[in-house]
Amino acid sequence: MAFVFTDDNAAQEIASGKAVVIDFWATWCVPCRRVTPIIEELAAEYEGRVLIGNYNVEDGNDLATEYGIRNIPTILFFKDGKQVGERMVGAQPKSEIEARIKELL
């Protein structure tokens, strides 16, 4: 199951140093609904190796503001407490997201 990132827990999880993948989304966003099942699958497949989850921009806004999220879905990748690589904006196929996750490992 995908982790639920919030303004209260995101900074701590990112700072932990482990590989982290955050999907910024909203319930009303149609492309987000296409990405959500992919995030769920990847979270299960990489459980224990990469923390993968969702951040609902309607439930919180601090993290989205901090990282300049202007379009959703947007996926950010973190390792060793820092954002790595470029963000993925828009609905992406599982293969593209998974390739970026493998780069974190």
**Side chain identity at residue 2, one-letter code:** A
Element (H, E) at 40: helix 30-45
| Per annotation, catalytic residue among 20, 22, 29, 63 | 29
94 given a catalytic annotation: no
Residue 93 annotated to the active site? no
The residues pairing with 96 across neighbouring beta strands, listed in sequence order, are none
For the chain, the average pLDDT equals 95
Q: What φ, ψ does residue 58 adopt, rounded to 5°?
A: -85, -25
Give the pLDDT confidence of 46-93 residue by residue, as tens digits. Answer: 999 999 999 999 998 899 999 999 999 999 999 999 999 999 999 999
- Express as a percent the part of the chain with pLDDT over 70: 100
| Choice among 19, 32, 88, 101 that is catalytic | 32
